């Protein structure tokens, strides 16, 4: 339920869309079964003007959150914040979801071009929704953490082939920007959950040099599944002949 408006001119369009659509609003009716396990938590009070309940369904075998729902009563920023948290966590593993914080929620709704997102005045709503979300996560049994598996940023079922029509005519600077924007949207939300980062360092013909940061520097998947996922995203979104190489391996290809 929406109680009152905050000056929406400060919100990003994505946050406004989350408030209006609130696709994750609702309740998971089914209970834990042989293959899935349900966690719930509630906090706040209607009498105090804000309350929220979380319903999180996870796969027992992999720890992946396969359904995330919420029921909330309060001001519009609470609704938008809950929807953003649901969007950040759906499809992630239990261990990755535990690392979701305010910075990631803000990044989820940020509009870099227009420099809009979540104004300081509404951050308390994010903290409140996150606190109860993490209470729900904490109620999962310990074996779920042990079963959590690395989740690649590539989901071939949803990733459509959309090659850039003028790729070969673009300047190096234009190519780098397009690639980095794609990384920010398709890759970073996943690897940041594990304390990692990645940047497009340079473009040399169709060879893309990327530089890992944080936990990705020492992670074995940075030269395996994660690297292949990034390359496949670039090939589907940009050009089929693209090859992705980590910065510390650049000397091996020339």
Nearest to 63 by CA among 137, 147, 176: 147
Quote the mean pLDDT of the chain.
Answer: 84
Q: Which pLDDT score is estimated for 10?
A: 83
Q: Which pLDDT score is estimated for 6?
A: 53
E-state strands within 11-95: 36-45, 50-59, 65-73
Q: Which domains does the chain have, with CATH numbers?
A: 8-147 (3.90.1010.10), 167-252 (3.30.300.130)
Residues 6 or more apart in contact with residue 254 via CB below 8 angstroms: none
Residues in the chain with pLDDT values less than 50: 156-157, 250-254
Tokens of 213: 């940061």
DSSP notation for 138-161: HTS-THHHHH-----S--TTT---
Q: Which pLDDT score is estimated for 149?
A: 58
- Report how far residue 39's alpha carbon sits from residue 49's, in angstroms, rounded to the nearest whole number: 24
Strand partners, 38: 57
For the entire predicted model, the pTM comes to: 0.67
DSSP notation for 155-223: -TTT------TTGGGS-HHHHHHHHHHHHHHHTHHHHGGGTEEEEEEEEETTEEEEEEEEGGGT-GGGG
Q: Which pLDDT score is estimated for 43?
A: 97
Judge whether 54 and 132 are in contact, CB under 8 Å. Answer: yes
Q: Which pLDDT score is estimated for 67?
A: 95
């Amino acid at each position: 339920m929406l109680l009152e408006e905050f000056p929406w001119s400060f919100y990003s369009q994505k946050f406004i869309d989350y408030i209006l659509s609130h696709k994750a609003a609702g309740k998971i009716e089914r209970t834990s079964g042989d293959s899935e396990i349900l966690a719930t938590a509630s906090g706040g009070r209607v009498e105090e003007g804000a309350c929220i309940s979380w319903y999180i369904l996870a796969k027992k075998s992999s720890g992946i959150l396969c359904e995330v729902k919420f029921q909330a009563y309060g001001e519009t920023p609470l609704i938008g914040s809950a929807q953003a948290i649901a969007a950040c966590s759906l499809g992630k593993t239990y261990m990755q979801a535990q690392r979701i914080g305010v910075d990631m929620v803000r990044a989820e709704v940020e509009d870099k071009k227009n420099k809009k997102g979540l104004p300081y005045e509404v951050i308390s709503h994010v903290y409140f929704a996150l606190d109860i979300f993490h209470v729900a996560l904490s109620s999962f049994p310990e074996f779920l953490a042990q079963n959590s598996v690395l989740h690649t940023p590539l989901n071939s079922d949803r990733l459509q082939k959309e090659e850039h029509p003028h790729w070969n005519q673009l300047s190096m600077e234009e190519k780098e920007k397009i690639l980095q924007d794609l990384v920010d949207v398709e890759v970073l939300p996943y690897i940041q959950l594990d304390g990692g980062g990645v940047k497009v360092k340079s473009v040399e013909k169709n060879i893309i040099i990327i530089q890992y940061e944080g936990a990705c520097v020492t992670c074995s998947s940075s030269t395996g599944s994660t690297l292949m996922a990034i390359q496949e995203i670039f090939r589907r979104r940009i050009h089929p002949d693209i090859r992705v190489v980590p910065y510390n391996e650049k000397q091996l290809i020339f």
